[in-house]
Structure formats: C-alpha cells, structure tokens
Structure 1
Amino acid sequence: MYTLAYTLGVDYGTQSGRVVLLDLLRAEEIAVAVVPYAHGVIDDVLPTTKAKLPPDWALQHPLDYIDVLEQGVPQVIKQAGIHPHDVIGLGVDFTSCTVLPVRGDGTPLCTEAAWRDRPHAWPKLWKHHSAQQIADRINHLAQERGESFLTRYGGRISSEWYFPKLLEVFESDRDVYDACDAFVEATDWIVWYLTGHVCRNSCTAGYKAMWSEEEGLPDAAFFAAVNPDFTAPWAKLGKDFYPLGTKAGFIVPEIASKLGLSDAVAVAVGNVDAMVAVPAVGVNQPGSLVMVMGTSICHLALTVDEVRLPGITGVVKDGVLPGLYGYEAGQAAVGDMFEWFVKKAVPQHEYEQAVANNQSIYEYLESQAAKLRPGEHGLMAFDWWNGNRSILGDADLSGMIFGLTLATEAHHIYRALLEATALGTKRIVDNLAEHGIVLQELVACGGLPQKSPLLMQIYADICGLPVIVRDSKEIPARGAAMFGAVAAGEKAGGYASIHAATEALAAPVLTRYEPDAGSQQIYAQIYQIYRHLHTVLGEDNVDLFHTLKKIRVQASL
C-alpha cells in the first residue's frame, strides 16, 4: 500500500501554461502554478526582426514551453512541501493543432540563428488561420473525389489543422520545409524533450491530421492532387502513433535534475487540452457534452457506435476514451471575444465604476448584465469573431451584433456576447441530436465556468439542459495528471487504465445549474431568430463575409 503518490499535469494553453500537482491517494489538487508565456501569442511582429506578420498569423516561442516546466514544476513541489521522489508520473496536454518544425534531434528550427528570422520556422498556434485557402483546396478536392476521410470531419477540415499548416510551409518557404526533419505537434515535442523519445499520439493524428487506425492517411494520390510536388505526406508526420495513456518513457536525468524530480517519473504520451478534460470531469460514457471553456470552446461527446455527421470537427475511435468514439465540435472565439470587448470597446467610465465598486471590469459588467431579463437588451450577437468552427466550419466568417440603438450600453452588449456563445452551443447540441446523439447534460470546465455564474445559467436556459461545473479550476491539467498516473501504472501507485483513474480521481461536482422555465421560453423565441439568421448569413449569403475578408487582407498588404 502506497502512503504517498503524486502526479504532475502540465496544461499548455494559448497565453500561459499551468502545472498541477495531484495527490493520488486523496484525489486532490494540492498545488497549482501558472506561468505566463514570456512572448505571449506572436501575431503582430516577429520577435527577432520586428517584421510585421500578415493577417491571420499566430505563432509562439518554443522556449516558453520549457519555461513552464522549469518554473512551474519546482513551484508546485515547493508549495506542497512534498519529497520530489514521491512524484511517480507526468502528463502533458496542449492546444491543438499547435505545430513546429524541428531537427532530427528535436531542436526547434526557430532557435537556430540561420532560421530565426523566417516566420515559417516558428511554431504555428492552433488559431493560425492564414492557411485557409489551402484548407479550402483540400476540402474541394476531397468532395470532388468522394474521399471517405472527409466524412469523419463533418465534411470539412479547417485551416487550424496539420496539413494546411504543413502545406503552407511547403508552398511558402520550401527552404524551411526541407530543413526540418519533422513537423510535430507541440504536445509530442514537449514529451520528446522530457523523455528523449518521439512518441506521436494517436489523438492529435486522428483529430487534426486526417489519420485513422482503420484507414491510415488519405493516399499519396490525393495529396498530389492538392499539390503535385507534395508526394510524401508521411515525411514530416511519421507513421507510428501511440494510444492515450501509453508511457512514452521516463524523464531523462538531465531534465529531471533541472526540474528537481527523480528520473523514475513516467511520462504519458501527449494529449489535447480538450480531450484530456473529459475523464477529469468524471465523464466516461455517452449522454454528456463536455465543454472546455477558455479563449475558445471545445465540445466533446461520446458514443458506443460511430455516427458520421456534418458540423463536427472530428470523430475518432478511442480519441477521447478507449472503447468509445469521441466527437469534437467547437467555437473559435469565447473568452477571446469577451477580452476583445473589454479591451477595445468598453468606455473608460465603466472602468472607473468598476474600481469604485472594488470589482474587476469583468465582475462589474457581469453584475450589471445579470440585472437584465432575457431579451431586455434587444440584441443578438453571433460569436464569429474568430470564424465559425461548428457547425459551419468557416474561418472566414466574422462577428456580428444586431439590434444596436442609441440606448445600448456596454453591459447590454456584454450580455449579448455571453448569450451568443450559448446560442452557438445550442446549435451544436441540436446538430448532434438531429443525427441521433442525444444529450442529457452539459459539463462545463476551463477558465470561465467558475468565474461566471451568469454565463452558466444562460447556457442552461438557452440549451434547456442542466449544466454541471466540477470543483477544479485546472481541469485539463488535472486530466493530464490522471494520464500521468496511468503511465506510471498500478505497481508504482498509479492506475491500470484511464477508466479506473476516472472513477478514482475525477473532480467532485461544485455547482449544478438547472434551466429556468420562464427564461427558457423567451430564449426559445430568440433562438428561432438566431437559427434563421444563421442560415441566411452563414450559409445562403456567406460570400458577403468572404468578400469583406478579401478586401481587408488586400488592404493590409
């Protein structure tokens, strides 16, 4: 019987990384460290040259990922006051598809003097959208050729994915493409850094690289149709992919010493921040929609049998949990959109009032928005600030607010933006139900659910489903730590399977929000308007948005 056993979960987000220390015997997070990325999101100028980046670019610095380990791991060990030798496992999750070109020994190309001034040598963040034209070509050809793989992804892939980003490098800077030995998911790269082993995970390959265990990759002829010179699709991706929960290896002694850990710590293969959250919130069977809420939302659902349907971003066997099909959908701007509004559009007097009330600007706007009855502000917004991921799969859409008048105030718009994200989720819920995937509850986690009770109640009222919030502010990191416990194994004090770890280590329920009948009736009327405009603007007249974007891009060149 083990008296002490801990695992580490490292969650790499858009703006920062978070490290959690999980006590396996008490199923408690006993220490958390948040490490902001020193370089943040690189979407304006390249750090080395200060050269202006084109529109829709989003890069990161790989040394920021290492900083998260070197700062965060010692912090949580110190906070908890534990002996480092009692840490038995470590798991990692990342935003995806976040990818970087590297040498054969794992060295990121952008850290070499010869390549640091070349934008395509840098890691491309998940929300790097400049490869949309390539994604469009892939979609058009796949539809024209009747490629079966496209049905696993709702009929359309995104510029956020692996091959659009890789082909962008291939077509825009062939020297960078030729110089790199691998174009690797950041989650796999950090595991490589920790263990010295290249262990690409099957989750990102399935959801982001058009691969499946049954069918493999689309054949070389398809890629040659996309670009006649692109004849080796496996070359930078590799051919071997490892199931979630697999032990990639142990931390190499040199890295273990830097982090203050034993080199007996087992490291799990990498995972995606959304998928890793599912076991952490206690979901291990169909019927729940897990919403991982932060800068964006990823929605995850499970079924026993595969259903191929439009409007999702992927369905992968064993992609979330072994023995089940995992479905991903999503909304590309949520917390990002709220932050945009607060930073770009809220008048100064609102900030002054927030200070007078001893509140943050978010707390103040929420307190004022909560006083409004559903429909009282007369507004409707579409959360397409960063394009639409589900169900339209169109990165060239942009946001809208309807109903503005001279009486509109900041908190009116703020509430409308909150409602916009819930309306988008309702459209996703309906799309799943229309294809036989019926849900009984929403399970919310991430940075937003505990910060915004109003947002959670709005989701319950608009979707007509209870919303469950689990008692953890760092659910993805907790999930990563759970996979670290599986990698360590039962003999070391961990767990034999992720199902066993889910039963023992899932975060407890914190709050349950039930739909309010009166609010639900009003929102049902609003949703009918939303559905109509969703079709008219997002489908029937989508060229209006595409033309506006083309004009914007051309004007910025």
Structure 2
Amino acid sequence: MTQHVSANNTAGNVAVGLDFGTLSGRAVVVRVSDGAELGTAVHSYRHGVITDRLPGSSITLAAETALQDPEDYRQVLSRAVPAALRDAGVDPSQVIGVGAAFTASTCMPVTAEGVPLCEIAPYTPRPHAWPKLWRHHAAQPEADAVNAAAAELGEPWLSRYGGRISCEWQLAKALQVLREDPELYHRADRWIEAADWIVWQLCGTETRNVCTAGYKGQFQDGSWPSREFLGALHPEFADFAHDKLDHPLSQLGDRAGGLTAEAAARTGLPEGTPVAVGNVDAHVTAASARTTRPGRMLAIMGTSTCHVMNSDVLAEVPGMCGQVLGGIVPGAWGYEAGQSGVGDVFAWFVDTQAPPEAHERARADGVSVHDVLAEETADDPVGAHGLVALDWHSGNRSVLVDHDLSGVLAGLTLATRPAEIYRALVEATAFGTRTIIDAFEKAGVPVHDLTVAGGMVERPHVLRIYADVLGRPLRLVSSALACAVGAAAHAAVAAGAHPDIHAASAAMGGVREHTVDPDPERTAAYEELYALYTELHDHFGRGGTRSLHRLRELRNAARKGNP
C-alpha cells in the first residue's frame, strides 16, 4: 500500500497517471504540486501476452506472434483507477486530469467507431484481428520488404530511423495483415496504436499523438510515407496511410478531450475530467525522470530497455528507432533507441538454466535467484569467467534493427559455472547499451548523463556492472512507478496546472540523491571485453556470417512442419 498523504493537502490538485505495460496496467494518483504519490493500484491482464493460442481457441499461432486482448486494457480503467483512488483516500472530484502511456508499437485494426475487430464475432477467431504487442516479431519478412523498398526508392525519412525500420513498428505489422488476411485488412477502417485507442475509450474521440506517429508510423516532416512507396510494397497497401492512419496530430501535453459518461462510470471519475493525448511509456517517463532537457539520456530498463533523449542536434544516428521533432517534448528532437531483451534475458536464464541449488538457496534466504547468482560472482575480477555473450535473445533493436538475430555465448568450458553465464548476460546487455551511446556520440549527438528507470533500478548488481561498463555515474529515478507518474505529469499539463512538460517535470519528477558510480579499475578492465563483444557483434550482425539467420529459418520451418 502507498503511504498516504492527507487529502486536505490535495484538494483539486491531483492527477491520475496510467501505465499500460506488457503484463499489467497500473494507475497512480499524484499530487500536482510536488509529485507525491498518494495511491496506486495494479491490474494484471487476464490473458497476458497471447503467444500460443487465441483465448478460447485451439488455433495454433505462428512463431514469434505476440498478441493481446483489448478488454484487458479496459479492465485497468475499471479496476485499477478506482482502487488507486481508494488507496489515495481522495475524492474523485479532486482529480484535475488523466494521462495514459502504453507499450509501443502495440497496434490494432478497428472500425470507424474504434471497435477492435477481434471483438466482432466473425473476426474473433482470426489472429490478425487482435492487437499486436510490441514484442510481436512475426512481421520480420515485411520489415525486410519495407527496408528494401525504402532504400531502393530513396525514401527521405529512412535516415531518421538509422537506415532500417523494425518489425515491431506499424508498417511491417499492417503489411503482414494485408499479406496473410486481406479480407480482414480491408475490413479495418482504422489502424491505431493502443496509446491512442485507450484515449479514444476515455474521451470518445479519435486522436493521434505525434510520438507514436513519428516513431512507430514513420510520420516525418508533416507527412506519412508516400502512396507511391506504400504501393510498391503491395498494390492494395498504397492507401494505408491515407485511409487508416491519417488524422490531425496532437502535441504531447495537449488535451485530447474530457471523460465520457461511460468512461466516468468505469473509472469512478467525474464526467468531463480532462484527458491528455496518448503517449509511449518510455517517452512519457522523461517527465518523471527530469530528463526533458537536451543531452540527458533516460534508459527505461525492464523486460526490454528503451533509451530516449532530447537534443538540439539533428543528425543521422545508425540503428535508431527514430528521431522525431516533438517526440518527447514539443520543440526538441527526440531520439529513441532500444534493446529488445534485457530483464527478459535474465529471467529466461533464471527460469530455465539456473541450477536447483540456486533456487533452493533463494527460498532459504528469502531472496531472488537473481541475487543468489549475482552474489556468487560479485567479487570475481572482470573477465575471470572467460565469457562474452551477445544479448540478442529477442533480436536486436538498436543498432542493427534485426529481429532474426539470436543470442550467442562464447568462451564456454567444462569449468564454466551457471553464475558466470548469468553475469556474462548482464554484461552483454551493458555492452549493448554502450554500443548505443557510442553510436550517438560518433554521430555528433552528445550524451551528457544517463538516468535509469524501470525494474532494474532495484537490481544493484545490474547497476554496478552498467556503471563500470559505461564508465559513467548512473542517476536513478525516485519513483518505482515512473511511467505512470510521467503520464500524470502530462495530465497536469493538459489540465493547465503546469505551463509545459518541462515545468511539470521540475515539479513532479524526481531522482535519488545518490548515484551509482563506476570503479575506474573495473571500467578499464572492461575495455577488452567490450572490444571482443564488438568483434562478435559485427561478425554475427553485420554480414560476417548468416548463421544466426539460417538457424532462425530452420527453427521456424520445423515448427511449421516443413524442415
């Protein structure tokens, strides 16, 4: 439970922030004047991530599929918001605004009224009717087609994404629907990010935010990808942007509308309460991390990691997820990069590879298996395990933008211990972050400091390795609910309580007093391991071999029964 602050100090001066994550959604009630978190609640999605079969169906889904149920999102409104208000002990009339942020690109086909096609009976059994989570990587062939056509036609927007578009983004996912279920594709009146769809549910009006449009839909310099380009991908795809995406874009912090009567009944909030335009979970967190000014990189480290940063510099940075004017705060170039697997990689190892004795010791000591494995190698010299790993268990988002890549572990011997492998995996993700920072700085986009948010903030062994590998102090966000607090900050701006996102960030954001500082000797020792990581990174990821791609092809073919 949240430590309560007297409701007398919050009258008319609180906002609700909503964070829709991969497995759950959370709501937080935040005091607008100083960011105090008054109450919070979490609702776990009933269906989580749908990867094997559709709910209530025996239909087997294709490899790399990751879907969700939109009703799970609505239940966050119905359950988490009222629970957070009760936890805060505030009257709903004291809420001046609501803001929401979502994983992205999580997108779905809907009717002109915003009804998801998966909720219309004839389409419910069809996989492409359901929302595709950011983790949906089954559209890699379509991403390859997008990249090849964009390069061949010299599309000017391609350089804003480091030269490659991810299969996680809108174009690849929508093209997959057209290729594999054309009838359903044509039935969809609109193709929309879940961040915008949930705002539609709240205020009854379709809106589109500049953040998801730019990073996930390739909207640049005032326009979507051209009809000619889209038609080159598929003749029936030519009007995709015009018919299914096009809509006036709202700036972050704008007011999308007010709560409808239906949304008010769901949430327990007054009808007409201002609703901020939607946003991406990583980008909205900049407000709570106080990283809205240029050169202040924020790494949101959880199941994956997203790196976002504002800059006054517009430059071509290889392998970026995008650079969008106003993508984090209006008026600045917002850069996004990321790693597809971080916490997921550590969890995979703990769940499938850690020995029974590690689990037994964790239970006996009342700690996590992660802690047990980390403690075993905490005092080992850098490089003592003789291992280097590549952190591509979920593909590579930046800087290679290739989700057909997979993990690599080099240096195994009969003396290798599980705890050493675990440490090598943590180091690999740190090397991946360093690769991203190096790409920024080599392109002339300076990174002044690094702030960390997300679940890894509570993993000291991970933070120590990152500080040593990067050779930089790490600032840590104060709130464990930084995304939801950032959404609340945007709600405060939309409601007029703060003049802009910078002001809301200064008032409502926060970082811990102490930083995690690097050890100079360990930082120096990591240089050679990083050089070996880079050698393997370039060999397996930049054309030295196609072995990882071929292994993925064999795996997928075998799963289809066509080895």
TM-score bucket (shorter structure): over 0.9
Partner of 1:260: 268
Distance in 1 of aligned mates of 2:267 and 2:515: 39
For structure 2, the 5+ residue unaligned runs are 1-8
Partner of 1:456: 463
| 1:374 to 2:398 alignment | no
State the Cα distance separating 1:372 from its structure 2 match.
2.6
Partner of 1:143: 151
**Aligned partner of 2:106 among 98, 102, 114:** 98
| 1:251 to 2:259 alignment | yes
Partner of 2:183: 175
| 1:520 to 2:528 alignment | no
Alignment of 1:400-439 (within 5 A): 400-439=408-447
Q: Percent identity?
A: 42
State the Cα distance separating 1:294 from its structure 2 match.
0.9
User: Quick check: 1:279–1:498 contact (8 Å CA) kept in 2?
Assistant: yes
State the Cα distance separating 1:528 from its structure 2 match.
1.1
Distance in 2 of aligned mates of 1:264 and 1:201: 20
The letter for the 2-side match of 1:524 is E
| 1:109 to 2:117 alignment | yes
| 1:225 to 2:228 alignment | no
State the Cα distance separating 1:3 from its structure 2 match.
4.7
* 2:269 counterpart SS class: coil
Partner of 2:5: none
State the Cα distance separating 1:442 from its structure 2 match.
1.1
User: Quick check: 2:35–2:485 contact (8 Å CA) kept in 1?
Assistant: no
Partner of 2:288: 280
CA 1:8 to 1:427, structure 2 compared with 1: closer, same or farther past 3 Å?
Answer: same
User: Quick check: 2:229–2:238 contact (8 Å CA) kept in 1?
Assistant: no
Partner of 1:488: 495
For structure 1, the 5+ residue unaligned runs are none
User: Quick check: 2:252–2:279 contact (8 Å CA) kept in 1?
Assistant: yes
Distance in 1 of aligned mates of 2:257 and 2:94: 17
Distance in 1 of aligned mates of 2:228 and 2:246: 18
Partner of 1:69: 77
| 1:126 to 2:111 alignment | no
| 1:235 to 2:243 alignment | yes
State the Cα distance separating 1:186 from its structure 2 match.
0.4
The letter for the 2-side match of 1:329 is A
In terms of mean alpha carbon deviation, does 494-503 or 149-158 score higher? 494-503
The letter for the 2-side match of 1:428 is I
User: Quick check: 1:4–1:25 contact (8 Å CA) kept in 2?
Assistant: no
The letter for the 1-side match of 2:540 is L
User: Quick check: 2:292–2:328 contact (8 Å CA) kept in 1?
Assistant: no
CA 1:3 to 1:84, structure 2 compared with 1: closer, same or farther past 3 Å?
Answer: closer
State the Cα distance separating 1:370 from its structure 2 match.
2.1
Distance in 1 of aligned mates of 2:495 and 2:377: 47
Distance in 1 of aligned mates of 2:357 and 2:134: 35
| 1:529 to 2:532 alignment | yes
CA 1:156 to 1:354, structure 2 compared with 1: closer, same or farther past 3 Å?
Answer: same
In terms of mean alpha carbon deviation, does 252-261 or 263-272 score higher? 252-261
User: Quick check: 2:394–2:403 contact (8 Å CA) kept in 1?
Assistant: yes
Question: 1:432-476, CA deviations, whole angstroms, 9 ceiling, x for partnerless residues?
Answer: 111111223210001111x21111111111111111002110111
* CA RMSD, Structure 1 to Structure 2 (Å): 1.4
State the Cα distance separating 1:215 from its structure 2 match.
4.2
The letter for the 2-side match of 1:315 is Q
User: Quick check: 2:475–2:511 contact (8 Å CA) kept in 1?
Assistant: no
State the Cα distance separating 1:542 from its structure 2 match.
4.2
The letter for the 1-side match of 2:476 is V
The letter for the 1-side match of 2:49 is V
| 1:9 to 2:17 alignment | yes
Partner of 1:59: 67
Q: How many residues align?
A: 551
In terms of mean alpha carbon deviation, does 265-274 or 173-182 score higher? 173-182
User: Quick check: 1:369–1:414 contact (8 Å CA) kept in 2?
Assistant: no
Alignment of 1:533-552 (within 5 A): 533-552=536-555
Partner of 1:343: 351
Partner of 1:476: 483
The letter for the 2-side match of 1:141 is A
User: Quick check: 1:290–1:444 contact (8 Å CA) kept in 2?
Assistant: yes
Distance in 2 of aligned mates of 1:104 and 1:435: 42
TM-score of the two chains, using structure 1 as the length reference: 0.97
* 2:236 counterpart SS class: coil
State the Cα distance separating 1:216 from its structure 2 match.
0.6
Distance in 2 of aligned mates of 1:52 and 1:369: 41
Distance in 2 of aligned mates of 1:372 and 1:53: 44
Alignment of 1:20-59 (within 5 A): 20-59=28-67
Partner of 2:331: 323
**Aligned partner of 1:216 among 220, 223, 233:** 223
State the Cα distance separating 1:296 from its structure 2 match.
0.5
User: Quick check: 2:149–2:233 contact (8 Å CA) kept in 1?
Assistant: yes
TM-score of the two chains, using structure 2 as the length reference: 0.96
* 2:243 counterpart SS class: coil
Distance in 2 of aligned mates of 1:75 and 1:368: 41
* 1:339 counterpart SS class: helix
Distance in 2 of aligned mates of 1:441 and 1:298: 15
User: Quick check: 2:40–2:85 contact (8 Å CA) kept in 1?
Assistant: no
The letter for the 1-side match of 2:346 is F
User: Quick check: 2:346–2:422 contact (8 Å CA) kept in 1?
Assistant: yes
User: Quick check: 1:88–1:264 contact (8 Å CA) kept in 2?
Assistant: no
Distance in 2 of aligned mates of 1:511 and 1:60: 39
Question: 1:363-412, CA deviations, whole angstroms, 9 ceiling, x for partnerless residues?
Answer: 22232232333222221111100110111111110001111122222211
| 1:387 to 2:365 alignment | no
* 1:540 counterpart SS class: coil
